[in-house]
Structure 1
């Protein structure tokens, strides 16, 4: 309930874009550590959690040290917390190269090796590596707060949408490569990924899945908002209702889009995200043969703590 009464801020791509570009680069540094983990279908275990202060890696357990990296957007710093100690790296006007050098020094003090790769990925026209990106970028506390607020509000809606799904569903989190918040549902049916896309994308598409998420926009599509798609893309998505007035299928992008400006004007944006996700799942059931019985009852934990399974299921139906 607390999510629904928060003020949903106005988001303007042109105002957000410089800081989004900066944060996207920053989170890729610690995000690389997640690639040391065992591969999980859909890359579900690499996502960054949306925390009360920013974005954080999962707990990473190495042979000599256990640690997590917390990008505290509301505090303007990065906290590395390990069983060997803690270090804080401040965020201010600097280049990605300068941050990377400070970060590697800090983790080294804690007995943590530097990330296994310094390649910048999924950012068009970016230099090849963190060390090559020497453009000085401006840290803006206000915009960092807006970025966190949007991710936090969208995450609340997506987590509520995901809760009743009984199949494989990685936790809701930020994909640090493309810097979008993602909630995926998987169906254990193999697919044939296109050969022309990068290996990591092929490995993301080895089985059927659907995704609902939030993105800040791009120069070619500058409206922040919710997106959704079904993989492989089925026929019959044109002309459908998507649960929220203003949500629409965009055939050129291969996405269902719900602009943030439309979402924030609904009576309850939190519930609108749930309705949007439910409509996309209904489309997967009706156009791609997804099972309808993978979605259980949607109710609060107190209800389930007092209600036998047979009655809870009866309520659902």
Structure 2
């Protein structure tokens, strides 16, 4: 299987916009039916061998235990309960409105009662339009959807590899349905007091100092897929730090900066995984140095923290 296949934003934009809204519907079910975790870690999707999953949820809200999986091999939405019952329907051929209707009807048929607090898109141009009224977004190209999952899976593997090198508090490698990116985050123990006007999503996500690493597929503001990293809150002179490889750069993002490595620059490299790992490491070193993290103490070479094993390496 080709590593990091081409996935130009313009080529699959229509499918991406439809799929993004499908994901937000299922993600909001996950938000409603799961126990809240620090930094909203209960909400994102995780990767499977065929697509993405909500992981088991329910019970905490008196619903049956259930999961919701996007199958991007068979191109179906699969909803299963803990007692073995399963309902599924095709992803192809749906508008956002009909997908929303099919999801809610399938959940009800399985005895799951979930009410979405805000049944509209989050932070998208049509955020004021209910899912049930969106008959505009209907594109779903199976080839593009399958490639999206392949890229997600390959990036997730690299992020898992990178995650092994840090022994402190970290997030899982997870796929955010609100921003449609995949990310992994390292934390320091520094508490951050957010201003009172900051929204509750941001307040919880950034209640601690972080350095985050990920990949996104492109959007209207940055119309190309790319690997990224940022430090929050951003320390002074962060953008003066060097990045690797030469194609990586600091991109201004309001009052802060994002370390960006274009996906297409990586695809043609002799060892794409090594290039991405080097990029993430350079961005981590930049943020950790400027923020004053104890880099040596937090290191976890090869995923090992046992002093005995480390002494014998």
TM-score by length of 2: 0.90
Query: What is the distance in 1 between the residues matched to 2:309 and 2:288?
Result: 23
User: Per the alignment, in what secondary structure is the counterpart of residue 42 of structure 2?
Assistant: helix
Instruction: Give the Å deviation of 1:188.
Output: 2.1
Contact 1:47–1:174 (8 Å) recurs in 2: yes
Instruction: Give the Å deviation of 1:115.
Output: 4.2
Deviations 1:240-260, CA, capped at 9 Å, x for gaps: 322323111112462100100
Contact 2:242–2:286 (8 Å) recurs in 1: no
Query: What is the distance in 1 between the residues matched to 2:134 and 2:198?
Result: 25
Residue 66 of structure 1 is matched in structure 2 by 65
Instruction: Give the Å deviation of 1:136.
Output: 4.4
Mean alpha-carbon deviation: is it higher for 221-230 or for 83-92?
83-92
Query: What is the distance in 2 between the residues matched to 1:12 and 1:211?
Result: 24
Residue 106 of structure 1 is matched in structure 2 by 106
- Evaluate the alpha carbon distance shift between residue 95 and residue 152 of structure 1 in structure 2; reply closer, same or farther with a 3 A threshold: same
Query: What is the distance in 2 between the residues matched to 1:242 and 1:298?
Result: 22
1:15 counterpart = 2:16: no
User: Per the alignment, in what secondary structure is the counterpart of residue 227 of structure 1?
Assistant: strand
User: Per the alignment, in what secondary structure is the counterpart of residue 301 of structure 2?
Assistant: coil
Structure 1 residue ranges, 4+ long, deviating more than 6 angstroms after superposition: none
Contact 1:45–1:170 (8 Å) recurs in 2: no
Instruction: Give the Å deviation of 1:278.
Output: 1.4
Query: What is the distance in 2 between the residues matched to 1:261 and 1:238?
Result: 23
1:46 counterpart = 2:43: yes
Q: Figure out how many residues of one structure are paired with residues of the other and give that number.
A: 305
Query: What is the distance in 1 between the residues matched to 2:45 and 2:142?
Result: 20
1:162 counterpart = 2:155: no
Query: What is the distance in 2 between the residues matched to 1:137 and 1:157?
Result: 32
Residue 268 of structure 1 is matched in structure 2 by 271
Contact 1:127–1:133 (8 Å) recurs in 2: no
User: Per the alignment, in what secondary structure is the counterpart of residue 186 of structure 2?
Assistant: strand
Contact 1:297–1:312 (8 Å) recurs in 2: no
| Structure 1 unmatched runs, 5+ | none
Residue 94 of structure 1 is matched in structure 2 by 94
| Structure 2 unmatched runs, 5+ | none
Contact 2:56–2:67 (8 Å) recurs in 1: yes
1:294-305 map, 5 Å: 294-298=298-302
What's the RMSD between the two structures over aligned residues?
2.0
Residue 192 of structure 2 is matched in structure 1 by 191
Residue 230 of structure 2 is matched in structure 1 by 229
Instruction: Give the Å deviation of 1:69.
Output: 0.5
Query: What is the distance in 1 between the residues matched to 2:46 and 2:146?
Result: 16
- Evaluate the alpha carbon distance shift between residue 211 and residue 315 of structure 1 in structure 2; reply closer, same or farther with a 3 A threshold: farther
Query: What is the distance in 1 between the residues matched to 2:227 and 2:204?
Result: 24
1:121-132 map, 5 Å: 121-132=122-133
Query: What is the distance in 1 between the residues matched to 2:275 and 2:150?
Result: 17
Query: What is the distance in 1 between the residues matched to 2:115 and 2:301?
Result: 42
Query: What is the distance in 2 between the residues matched to 1:237 and 1:58?
Result: 37
Query: What is the distance in 2 between the residues matched to 1:70 and 1:135?
Result: 24
